[in-house]
Amino acid sequence: MSNHLPEDNDAISRAMIKVIVALAAILLAIVGCQRLNAEPLKQTAPVDNGIRSCELVRIIDGDTVVLTVNLGDGVSLTNRHIRLSNVYVDEKGTVDGDNATDCLNKLLKAHAGEPMVIQLNGRDKYGRALGTVWVGDCNLNDEQRKLPQKGRGIK
């Protein structure tokens, strides 16, 4: 038989809770003071501006390329079909479509060895990934939009 009454158990429980809370507050105060004296935390993740480094896998046509896109921390999206945003060229197999594909190929060869980056711009109404691609200081989207094409335009 216990010498404690039920009221004593409640009082002991409340006292234990107060001690635990006090110890937690002291621990937080100690850790906080140490943190004030420490060097500031370094940001480990880059600021996300949506621009990623990438590598060309192949050219599909005058407005579509296949890329490997570096997401950082050793993670990449491989073999991703990317349509150049706001670039509308005729289909491959037509004179103007083949010309657009040749021009894109020449642009990429002229800037071989320069860093390639992409800004992903969402998806089009068909679910295709859209992006703006630069090689060095050359904006591939802008260059492809300059090509004369029948029936094409910025939509």
Cα(84)–Cα(47) distance, rounded to whole angstroms?
Answer: 24
Which range scores top for mean pLDDT: 11-15, 43-47, 88-92?
88-92
pLDDT above 90 coverage of the chain, percent:
48
80 vs 72: CA distance, rounded Å: 16
Contact 29, 37 (CB under 8 A): no
Of the pLDDT bands very low, low, confident and very high (cuts 50, 70, 90), residue 7 is low
How far out from the chain centre does Cα 147 lie? Answer: 30
- According to the model, what pLDDT value does residue 116 have? 95
Summarised one tens digit per residue, pLDDT across range 88-113 is 898 889 999 999 999 999 999 999 99
Q: What is the mean pLDDT of residues 16-37?
A: 71
Helices and strands in the chain, H and E counts = 3, 6
Of residues 150 and 19, which shows the higher confidence score?
A: 19
- The pLDDT-based confidence of 42 (bands split at 50, 70, 90) is very low
Would you say residue 37 has pLDDT above 60? no
Q: What is the pTM of this model?
A: 0.64
The reported pLDDT for the residue numbered 154 is 46
Checking DSSP bridges between strand 51-61 and strand 64-72, what pairing results, if any? antiparallel
Rounded to the nearest integer, the mean pLDDT of the chain is 82
In angstroms, the CA 2 to CA 14 distance is 19
Taking alpha carbons only, the member of 82, 26, 27, 35 closest to residue 57 is 82
Query: What digits encode the pLDDT tens for the residues 50-101?
Result: 789 999 999 999 999 999 999 888 899 899 999 999 998 988 899 999 999 9
**Is residue 124 predicted with pLDDT exceeding 80?**
yes
